[in-house]
């Protein structure tokens, strides 16, 4: 039990959280998903992020879930992100089964809740797969290709790039809280539980000053961009053409798109055949 508590304390440390966030955002450049063209990934995500909401066939949703689970494995998602995904799936739909049974429901609610859970799971895994395989530049160029406003695409790209700064500021805020306070003793199981509660408490308290620091960094960034002629660059067609020139379809994109289309068509016929 003591080893379990010590392991939990290590997992919620700020260094572990920072490493997991960095790994998921910047450490997947060599995966098969990251090597694809951003346009291919965005079109793929448009299908797997929208179409599942209009499907009520359990077998087809299960097939789509298995496919996006494989792509998530290929994307080498950080364990922390997968853990949060599992917790989110349960808190959004899984608990409804227990609530319905507790208040006089029966097992007939299992199928509708399973459909809802599969829909959320497919869309969530597709989002994790795509955005872990796109670095800020690829994501911005892909959005620009599909006519996304320059300001919006830059904002999304900037949110990715400012992530290391935010994590560093977050760690500094946590250190300042620890310097001003006294952490509980970690001796024994009870002490480790108290220390875990203390860690969670200061993490929550650190979010408000982090928001203020983020607003300050955003203002400084806007002023620097205006000085360097950001508005002129966004209105210059040659700049946009230069950004889009790095996009290039490869045989890998054709193979990925072909496999996805073939699988979706196959699972559709299989699901219809089982349903009939």
How far does CA 215 lie from the centroid of its chain? 23
pTM as predicted: 0.73
* pLDDT above 80 for 107: no
Residues 76, 129: Cα–Cα separation, whole Å: 9
Determine phi and psi for 142, rounding to 5 degrees.
-65, -40
- What is the per-residue pLDDT for 124? 87
Is residue 50 pLDDT above 80, yes or no?
A: yes
Angle at the Cα of 84 from the Cα atoms of 207 and 142, rounded to 5 degrees: 85
Residue 82 has pLDDT above 80, yes or no: no
CA distance 22 to 14: 12
Mean per-residue pLDDT for 110-120?
A: 80
Confidence check: pLDDT of 12 > 60:
no
Looking at every residue in the chain, the average pLDDT score rounds to: 77
According to the model, what pLDDT value does residue 87 have? 75
Q: What's the angle, vertex CA 225, arms to CA 219 and CA 227, rounded to 5?
A: 105
pLDDT, tens only, 155-168: 777 777 777 777 77
Q: What proportions of the chain, in percent to the nearest 5, are helix, strand and coil?
A: 80, 0, 20
Between CA 90 and CA 78 the distance in angstroms is: 19
Would you state the pLDDT for residue 262? 92
**Residue 59 and residue 62: Cα distance in Å, rounded?**
5
Q: Assess contact for 123 and 49: CB atoms under 8 A.
A: yes
- pLDDT above 90: percentage of residues in the chain: 4
For 201-237, the pLDDT digits (tens) are 888 888 888 888 877 777 787 777 777 777 766 666 7
- Read out DSSP for 62-127? HHHHHHHHHHHHHTT--HHHHHHHHHHHIIIIIHHHHHHHHTT--GGGHHHHHHHHHHHHHHHHHH
Per-residue CA distances from 177 to 12, 27, 168, 180, 201 (Å)? 16, 30, 15, 5, 10
Categorize the per-residue pLDDT at 135 as very low, low, confident or very high, splitting at 50, 70 and 90: confident
Pairwise pLDDT comparison (102 vs 171), residue with the higher score: 171
* Residue 67, pLDDT score: 92
Residue 94 pLDDT > 70 = no
The confidence band for 20, taking pLDDT boundaries of 50, 70 and 90, is low
Whether 147 shows a pLDDT value over 70: the answer reads yes
Label residues 39-66 b or e (16+ Cβ within 10 Å = b): bbbbebbeebbeebeebebbebbbbbbe
Highest mean pLDDT among 7-16, 181-190, 245-254: 245-254
Average pLDDT on 17-32 reads 64
Angstrom distances, CA of residue 75 to CA of 40, 42, 66, 152, 271: 15, 15, 14, 25, 27
């Amino acid at each position: 039990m003591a080893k379990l508590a010590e392991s939990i304390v290590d997992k919620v440390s700020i260094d572990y959280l920072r490493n997991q966030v960095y790994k998921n955002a910047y450490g997947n450049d060599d995966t098969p998903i990251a090597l694809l063209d951003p346009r291919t990934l965005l079109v793929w995500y448009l299908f797997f992020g929208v179409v599942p909401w209009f499907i009520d066939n359990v077998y087809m949703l299960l097939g789509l879930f298995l496919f996006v689970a494989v792509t998530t494995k290929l994307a080498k998602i950080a364990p922390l992100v997968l853990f949060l995904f599992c917790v989110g799936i349960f808190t959004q739909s899984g608990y409804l089964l227990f609530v319905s049974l507790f208040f006089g429901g029966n097992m007939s609610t299992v199928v509708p809740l399973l459909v809802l859970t599969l829909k959320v799971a497919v869309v969530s895994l597709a989002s994790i797969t795509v955005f872990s395989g796109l670095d800020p530049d690829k994501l911005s160029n892909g959005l620009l290709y599909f006519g996304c406003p320059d300001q919006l695409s830059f904002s999304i790209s900037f949110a990715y790039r400012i992530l290391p700064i935010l994590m560093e500021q977050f760690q500094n805020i946590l250190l300042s809280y620890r310097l001003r306070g006294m952490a509980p003793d970690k001796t024994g199981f009870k002490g480790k539980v108290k220390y875990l509660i203390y860690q969670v408490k200061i993490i929550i308290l650190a979010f408000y000053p982090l928001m203020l620091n983020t607003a300050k960094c955003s203002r400084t960034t806007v002023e620097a961009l205006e000085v360097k002629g950001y508005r002129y660059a966004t209105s210059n067609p040659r700049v946009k053409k230069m950004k889009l020139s790095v996009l290039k379809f490869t045989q890998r994109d054709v193979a990925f798109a072909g496999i996805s289309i073939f699988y979706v068509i196959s699972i559709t016929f299989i699901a219809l055949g089982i349903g009939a």
